[in-house]
Amino acid sequence: LESVGKQRYDRWEVIAVDDCGPEDGTQAIVESFAKSHPDHRVEFIRHEKNKGVSAARNTAIHAAEGKYLAFLDPDDFWGSSYLWSHVKNLESHDNTAVSYTSARLVDQEGVITGEIFGPDIIDLPESLYFQCLIIPSAVMAKRENVILCDGFDETPELQHAEDWDLWLRMIEKEMGFCYTSSAICFWRQHQGASTFDPAARRAREMALRKKHSVLLAHYNRNL
């Protein structure tokens, strides 16, 4: 939230969705942030029961009022020009639905490690058929395009691969992607993250590949 408040682009709103998590002070933090930014819309929404990450994202998408959606997972943060850079790129590309960037890795304490996740130039769409190198916190998308694709799939087996699935569906609808190098995103790495469970990651990938099997088979035949 602090990184949002420091953005160079100041036409932002925050929709914070608590997916029936523990009572750990999250609501109080969001409300305090709202009071310190009275000129911005800051809304806190809590699910009455846990529905999964896709449902939480979809709740925020439908509550949002802006033209663009920028996803920010709770352990990540942005550089001060993040929103401005994405908006500038999207505004200059009428046929582009998604602006994405690489992620700079930080450790559990927020110290930059110097590692980068995702190359500067991704050979889309082919590269996404094999591996997802675009994390949600490094993406800004046009809201109308995300809604046209019905948002994130809430199927339990696809949770934590829901972003990969959405990118593939947007590509299937021939929605354009562009890379924005000046949008700086910091991705926090820690042992509690879902990506650190290899078995769960393989299961999610199998479910995703099964869903997109026709598309993947078509591409593989044309290699």
**Interval 160-205: pLDDT, tens:** 999 999 999 999 899 999 999 999 999 998 766 655 678 888 899 8
What is the predicted pLDDT for the residue at 33? Answer: 98
Neighbours of 17 (CB within 10 A): 21
**CA gap 23, 20 in Å, rounded:** 9
Give every residue of the chain whose pLDDT is below 70, as ranges.
119-122, 191-196, 214-223
Structure tokens at 195: 């990506």
Joined together, the tokens standing for residue 151 give 């948002």
Per-residue pLDDT of 43-59, as tens digits, reads: 999 999 999 999 999 99
pLDDT of amino acid 221: 52
Calculate the CA dihedral of residues 219, 220, 222, 223 and round it to 10 degrees.
Answer: 120
Q: Give the whole-angstrom CA distance, residue 4 versus residue 132.
A: 25
pLDDT, position 131:
84
Cβ proximity of 201 and 195 under 8 Å:
yes
Summary mean pLDDT of the chain: 90
CA distances 152 to 11, 87, 142, 194, Å, are 25, 22, 14, 17
pLDDT at 128: 83
**pLDDT computed for residue 174 by the predictor:** 92
Separation of alpha carbons 149 and 174, rounded Å: 11
Share of the chain above pLDDT 70, in %: 90
